[in-house]
Amino acid sequence: MLFNTLGFILFFIVILILYYAPLLGWKGKKIMLLLASYVFYGLWNPPLILLLWISTLVDWTAGNKLYKLSDKARKKLWLLLSICVNLGFLGFFKYGEFLLNNFIDFVSLFGIEYVPPEFDIILPMGISFYTFQTMSYTIDMYRDRIKPAKTFLDFALYVTFFPQLVAGPIVRSGELIPQYYEPKKASQNQFVLGMLLLSIGLFEKTVFADSLFAPVSDRVFGTDGNLPAIDAWAGVLAFSGQIFFDFAGYSLCAIGIALTLGFKLPDNFRYPYGAIGFSDLWGRWHITLSSWLRDYLYIPLGGNRGTLSRTYVNLMLTMLLGGLWHGAGWTFIFWGFLHGFYLIIERLLKDKVSIKSSNILLNVFLAFLTFQCVNITWVFFRAQDFEMAINLLGSMFFINEGKPLLWTSSMVFVFGLMTLVFAGHYAMRNKSLVGVIESSPRWFVTLIWGIMIFGLFIVQTTGKQFIYFQF
């Protein structure tokens, strides 16, 4: 079920009625939320709920064993079981075809023609998100950092809570499970704020991502030929805007929906296109994933505790696996490589170049430079293959020449809007959306809210899938 559909709006209204009507006790409300989450997920493909149930049962059992056992060897076995089950599902459903195709290419180097039986593997929606979420539970339990959930119901709801089940934010158990222990009810201000965040998220997804940026992006990335530089840049900038408003919009919807029920989810975006440098970027883009990779991959690899070269290796490995997390393809891995490369270059320069943080012009320049480097990485993220990515980069940097593809009005619109996006992100670097809403005059917030609702009615929802659902 998609947030940007009439079906979800009706589903959400029913949930709110059942949640706030004096019909159910707290336990009954949690059971209702759990069943609703299964319905929310199962309407897409009912049999794949089995994966959720298996993951839930395995990690609940492993978590309890890890908490009770004192023998380290036996604890490791339970942790390995949890990791193997979760990564096994992820590996089979998400990377099975990718690994098989690479195996075929590899054996063909030796003159062996291998034709595998045909597989029709469906990628379960959101498997990368809930897999990482449940793995963090058992890993933290193994490290003795958390206690197990008090009841199976609390743990099952943690795994499947519908606002963030499919595309995050990736929530740690300590952030969400304790919220289930006491009855939750949104205050009037929380409910209104939640509905406003939901509206902003839907507006970002439906109006900006799907209606304004996607047509330009799809056209440029859907062409086989070379392009003039200005067309190529317009297409890449359009995708840059599309993927931000698509994913940040989803996160805002998730946070807003949870807030209307009285639950708080962590921020996932903090104006990433205003970042100065790539360390700053990863503290602003998909924050819950980058912190997950830091805590469960980068630091266990050694982090920055070893030599400088070892730190660079750890950084690169983390970003390569971060790229692979996003998609089963070499272009995604190369996208991760570019981010790892940028992070290493940034660290090298920081050790040798002193920059005055009070120089506004310099900061704007560095933010703009970071933004353009990010745009280059998006080429590999969005392109179907390396050939397309290289051709598009050739067009962007005047190496290739081609026939114009886009209308002048489209390019003016994309360049103008992305300039505003960059300026807005830079201006909001040290602020939060909720903070700005709460400090703004109520009449102004109401006016903007009304304009967004009007815009949603004018554009109307297309029911287009969120980009990150495929991950």
- For the chain, the straight-line distance linking the first and the last C-alpha, in angstroms and rounded, comes to 16
Is the pLDDT at 468 greater than 70? The verdict is no
User: Are residues 264 and 371 located together in one domain of the fold?
Assistant: yes
Residue 389 belongs to what domain range? 190-276+355-469
In a domain, 291, yes or no: no
- State the pLDDT at residue 329: 87
By C-alpha distance, which of 59, 75, 227 is closest to 155? 59
Is the pLDDT at 305 greater than 80? The verdict is yes
Q: Which two tokens stand for residue 345?
A: 């270059």
Give the domain-ending residue among 160, 185, 210: 185
User: Are residues 64 and 174 located together in one domain of the fold?
Assistant: yes
Q: Which two tokens stand for residue 464?
A: 């287009």
User: Are residues 131 and 96 located together in one domain of the fold?
Assistant: yes
pLDDT tens, position by position, 120-155: 667 777 888 888 899 999 999 999 899 999 999 999
Binned at pLDDT 50, 70 and 90, residue 240 comes out as very high
Is the pLDDT at 456 greater than 90? The verdict is no
Share of the chain above pLDDT 70, in %: 96
User: Are residues 45 and 139 located together in one domain of the fold?
Assistant: yes
In a domain, 340, yes or no: no
Q: Which two tokens stand for residue 452?
A: 């967004």
pLDDT tens, position by position, 316-337: 999 999 998 888 889 999 999 9
Q: Is 326 a catalytic residue?
A: yes
pLDDT tens, position by position, 9-54: 999 999 999 999 988 999 999 999 999 999 998 887 788 888 889 9
* Contact indicator for 415, 216 with CB cutoff of 8 Å: no
Average model confidence (pLDDT) across the chain? 90
- Where do runs of H (alpha helix) occur along 143-228? 152-160, 173-176, 188-203, 214-221
In a domain, 270, yes or no: yes
User: Are residues 124 and 239 located together in one domain of the fold?
Assistant: no
User: Are residues 127 and 152 located together in one domain of the fold?
Assistant: yes
Q: Cα(316)–Cα(298) distance, rounded to whole angstroms?
A: 9
- State the pLDDT at residue 11: 94
Give the domain-ending residue among 185, 216, 251: 185
pLDDT tens, position by position, 422-454: 999 999 999 999 999 999 999 999 999 999 998
Give the domain-ending residue among 167, 185, 203: 185
In a domain, 107, yes or no: yes
Q: Cα(291)–Cα(268) distance, rounded to whole angstroms?
A: 10
User: Are residues 178 and 211 located together in one domain of the fold?
Assistant: no
User: Are residues 403 and 424 located together in one domain of the fold?
Assistant: yes
- State the pLDDT at residue 304: 85
In a domain, 100, yes or no: yes
Binned at pLDDT 50, 70 and 90, residue 235 comes out as very high
- For residues 383 and 117, which has the higher predicted lDDT (pLDDT)? 383
- State the pLDDT at residue 406: 84
User: Are residues 125 and 41 located together in one domain of the fold?
Assistant: yes
Q: Name the catalytic one among 286, 326, 339, 425.
A: 326
- State the pLDDT at residue 190: 94
Instruction: Taking residues 358-368, report their average pLDDT.
Output: 89
* Contact indicator for 377, 335 with CB cutoff of 8 Å: yes
- State the pLDDT at residue 470: 64
In a domain, 371, yes or no: yes
- State the pLDDT at residue 351: 74
- State the pLDDT at residue 433: 92
- State the pLDDT at residue 350: 83
In a domain, 300, yes or no: no
Number of residues assigned to the chain: 471
In a domain, 316, yes or no: no
User: Are residues 33 and 143 located together in one domain of the fold?
Assistant: yes
pLDDT tens, position by position, 349-358: 887 777 667 7
Binned at pLDDT 50, 70 and 90, residue 119 comes out as low
Share of the chain above pLDDT 90, in %: 64
* Contact indicator for 155, 100 with CB cutoff of 8 Å: no
When divided into structural domains, the chain yields a total of 2
Question: How much is the pTM?
Answer: 0.90
User: Are residues 136 and 237 located together in one domain of the fold?
Assistant: no
User: Are residues 127 and 203 located together in one domain of the fold?
Assistant: no
